[in-house]
Structure 1
Amino acid sequence: MNLKKLLLGAAVASLLALFAGCGGGGSGDSVAPPPPAPPPTGGIGRNGVAVGPITTFGSIVVNGVRYETNSATFLLDGVAGTEDDLKVGQIVSVKGTINDDGTTGTADEVNFDDSVKGPVESIDLALKQLVVLGQTVLVSLDTSFDDSFSPASLDGVSVGQIVEVSGQFDANGNIVATRIEPKPAGTEFEVHGTVTGLNTTAQTFSLNALVVDYSSATLDNFVGGQIAEGDFVEAKGMSLGASGELLATKVELEGLLPGAVDGDRIEVEGFITRFVSAQDFDVGGIPVTTTGSTTYEGGVAADLGLNIKVEVEGDLNASGVIVATKVDIRRSKAVRVVADADSIDATNNSLVVLGIPVTVDVLTRLEDKSNADVDPLTLNDLNVGDYLEVRGSEFPAGSGTILATILEREDADSRVELQGFVDTISDPSITILGVTIDTNGSTVFRDINDNVISSADFFNQVTTNSLVKATGSEASDTVITATEVEFEFEI
């Protein structure tokens, strides 16, 4: 997408006080189609714009910063709302200031806008993805599912169901979901994307695999009043045509970082969507440059590349480029445990589940899906014996401790699950994070494509560091008797 056009679009959006949840597309030789601007994350040292997934409430916590919202205005899909309308995992835009402590701030505006909302066209459980309005949605351990799904996972979603997806875009234009919720029949369809295949005669264009018919649509914020190839837009409509096209009632041009101006402090967390060099790349469509003073965490400059998830801190310059002072390379989250809590230490932000130490921090997303329905949920609300789901990564590496990105309380169940990287192998057992997983003649084994395989095939294929998920019952604090064991792949 042409950067000048995007910046002009952003200026128009700013003048109209638009505050979109996702921004414009990439610049230069971007991967087609370029995804929208990712959410910049919390940590503004002065006035600025921050966007990221909500981790908890009271007031609202986004990317480790607790924003007071007493005087804030809330918009949900362009409609006035309140803080009570929001859910953890939804990506929200926050415009305001942050205090010198770096952990608290004041929000002036909070905006939520979904990535896509519409009927589910297909589901692939093996690949952990679904298609909604022609957009491929990837599900990972960072995805929160509303507890009105049964079960609250991809298994609880059905083809034809209307869902709302909040997430970030990767270099291929896929949406990596952070939250998925069901919506009732009659819900207005919405989709974000970059215009390709524009046909001004037929008045149609494509957003990935979706054709949009805009012949009866209101056009909003477009330069010259007309849609152009490469524009990043949001299209809305109530129905699909005979060929599955969206019959749009409104199409709106969206900018890169609406509300942000030259000199604002920005922190961007997202996937690298255009990569020329470590000094020239886009994060979710926002151009980034680094200098000799840029510091790196979680890796080095040579680790950067397409679809690597990073957090970039810096100031926005007059050309709409973030001049990075820090680049934090984010690793994928592959560990998951579902079991009763062995102990809780709220004072030290820690707990033990299935004998595995777990730590939480300001970035941990907390949600109560049990009948207790405590909101906001904190460690002080948890008790020994509570049935918990923890997702995250082993940190520090090799420590045997999970740093939780998501912690959910659910209604009591005897089922136990553990997913992680294999430490040791001793047929018919393996260990993961110090937990022994015993298999027997009744255990079902599956390959990475969810096909049933024999025990012999499994133990011939499994190696240390294989990613494996085991389901069964808890024989003791650190032993699972497995009913099913399967290979998994990292997203």
Structure 2
Amino acid sequence: TPITSAVASDGTAKASKFSFGSRVVGPVTAVGTSTLTVLGQTIDIVAATVFDSSTLPGGLADITTASVIEVHGLPDSATGHILATRIESASSATSYKLRGTLTGLDTAAKTFNIGGAAISYASATLKPSSLALAENLVVRVVLATTPTSGVWSATTVGSTGRDATTGTAAHVRGTVSALDSTAKTFSVDGLKVDYSGVASVPATLANGVEVDVLGTVSSGVLVATAVTLKEECRGKHDDRFEVHGAITAVDTVAKTFTLRGLTIDTSGTVTYTGGTAAGLVVGAKVEVKGSVGSTRTTVLASAIQFER
């Protein structure tokens, strides 16, 4: 998720911060034709799902109940599932990780649930130490790799709060929580958003949905000028895809480059913003939009924006 510090006249922005957080890192316990179960979470494989071409070249066929994987995706508030955007192998993981909404909090037993995962925080470090656990709080947990009687032991429970500097233009993406339709506020992974000045707000705005928010930070609050739903992965037949990062390899003959383990194909019609095809070199930071190729390990680029 980028927090941008300035927006240029050509529509490009200089990012002051990026974070790429996965939803879950853990063992696969069930494999279906279009679903996986990982740490008690149901993962939906949808049209926009891509697999890391370097660690899972065979896509879904490479995943078994012996696999440990890392899943990036969006929460589906209607089903409670995770709609996967990207899946890669995490076979060398020494701990498991999970991000989601805390439910079933038992302060006496020091347990809570995230989806279908029962978690003990009896021996966990809270980050920050002042963190107050509560129902429906969005948290990140780090887990020991062996459960006890079906309960996972957390070593760390952390807030998903974000840093924000007063006066910066901001573009954030994340999950809505703490929606207050009277005060016209909500939180995006811990960052409070004031949408009272937004003329048109999506009618389906609700806790658990994924949003894009544009605005300006004031005293730690993002004062929104626009709120839109993050739709890339909502539809089961929607193959739009977006990925940010620095280019790690380029093949000028094949007209492809590698970005965060994905092969980006630029052989079709591509709209460039802030640069040209000649700028696609190792180390260049770009945002790519496109569709998922038939192998699910390639993204067919339709738009590329250079990020400063």
Compute the displacement of 1:186 (Å): 5.3
Compute the displacement of 1:265 (Å): 2.3
Report the equivalent of 1:405: 290
C-alpha change, 1:103 and 1:229, in structure 2 (3 Å) is same
2:11 aligned partner, one-letter code:
G
Map 1:289-304 onto structure 2 (within 5 A): 289-291=194-196, 294=198, 301=201, 303-304=203-204
Contact between 1:197 and 1:229, CA under 8 Å: does it hold in 2?
no
Contact between 1:222 and 1:252, CA under 8 Å: does it hold in 2?
no
Distance 2:48 2:68 in 1: 21
C-alpha change, 1:326 and 1:279, in structure 2 (3 Å) is farther
Report the equivalent of 2:276: none
Correspondence for 1:176 among 83, 91, 116: 83
Report the equivalent of 1:314: 215
Report the equivalent of 1:245: 151
Report the equivalent of 2:105: 198
Map 1:248-263 onto structure 2 (within 5 A): 248=154, 250-257=155-162, 259-263=163-167
Correspondence for 2:122 among 208, 215, 220: 215
Contact between 1:233 and 1:251, CA under 8 Å: does it hold in 2?
no
Distance 2:65 2:92 in 1: 14
Considering fraction of residues, name the structure with more helix.
Answer: 1
Report the equivalent of 2:184: 280
C-alpha change, 1:214 and 1:139, in structure 2 (3 Å) is same
Contact between 2:121 and 2:157, CA under 8 Å: does it hold in 1?
no
Report the equivalent of 1:459: none
1:326 aligned partner, one-letter code:
A
Residue correspondences, number: 261
Distance 2:178 2:125 in 1: 32
1:311 aligned partner, one-letter code:
D
Compute the displacement of 1:329 (Å): 4.6
1:253 aligned partner, one-letter code:
G
Contact between 2:143 and 2:152, CA under 8 Å: does it hold in 1?
yes
Distance 1:204 1:270 in 2: 25
Compute the displacement of 1:378 (Å): 6.0
Contact between 1:170 and 1:272, CA under 8 Å: does it hold in 2?
no
Contact between 1:137 and 1:176, CA under 8 Å: does it hold in 2?
yes
Distance 1:170 1:256 in 2: 21
Compute the displacement of 1:404 (Å): 6.0
Distance 1:116 1:302 in 2: 28
Compute the displacement of 1:163 (Å): 0.7
3-state DSSP of counterpart to 1:375: strand
- Identity fraction in percent: 25
**Structure with max Cα Rg:** 1
3-state DSSP of counterpart to 2:48: coil
Correspondence for 1:151 among 58, 61, 74: 58
Distance 1:277 1:196 in 2: 22
Compute the displacement of 1:260 (Å): 0.8
Report the equivalent of 1:323: 223
Map 1:127-138 onto structure 2 (within 5 A): 128-138=34-44
> Could you say what the CA RMSD is over the residues aligned between the two structures, in angstroms?
4.2
Report the equivalent of 2:281: none
Confirm whether residue 167 of structure 1 aligns to residue 73 of structure 2: yes
Contact between 2:127 and 2:159, CA under 8 Å: does it hold in 1?
no
C-alpha change, 1:277 and 1:123, in structure 2 (3 Å) is farther
- Offset from partner CA, 1:436-476 (integer Å, 9 cap, x none): xxxxxxxxxxxxxxxxxxxxxxxxxxxxxxxxxxxxxxxxx
- Offset from partner CA, 1:35-72 (integer Å, 9 cap, x none): xxxx4x56x353xxxxxxxxxxxxxxxxxxxxxxxxxx
Compute the displacement of 1:364 (Å): 6.9
C-alpha change, 1:129 and 1:321, in structure 2 (3 Å) is farther
C-alpha change, 1:110 and 1:322, in structure 2 (3 Å) is closer
Report the equivalent of 2:12: 103
Contact between 2:215 and 2:223, CA under 8 Å: does it hold in 1?
yes
Compute the displacement of 1:178 (Å): 2.1
* Structure 2, unpaired ranges of 5+: 269-287, 297-308
* Structure 1, unpaired ranges of 5+: 1-38, 47-97, 337-359, 384-402, 412-491
Distance 2:204 2:174 in 1: 12
Confirm whether residue 265 of structure 1 aligns to residue 166 of structure 2: no
Contact between 1:211 and 1:245, CA under 8 Å: does it hold in 2?
yes
C-alpha change, 1:144 and 1:281, in structure 2 (3 Å) is farther
Distance 1:165 1:278 in 2: 35
Distance 2:121 2:243 in 1: 41
Distance 2:124 2:243 in 1: 41
More deviation, 226-235/155-164 = 226-235
Considering fraction of residues, name the structure with more strand.
Answer: 2
C-alpha change, 1:407 and 1:103, in structure 2 (3 Å) is farther
Distance 2:120 2:196 in 1: 44
Distance 1:303 1:263 in 2: 29
C-alpha change, 1:304 and 1:232, in structure 2 (3 Å) is closer
3-state DSSP of counterpart to 1:206: strand
C-alpha change, 1:255 and 1:275, in structure 2 (3 Å) is closer
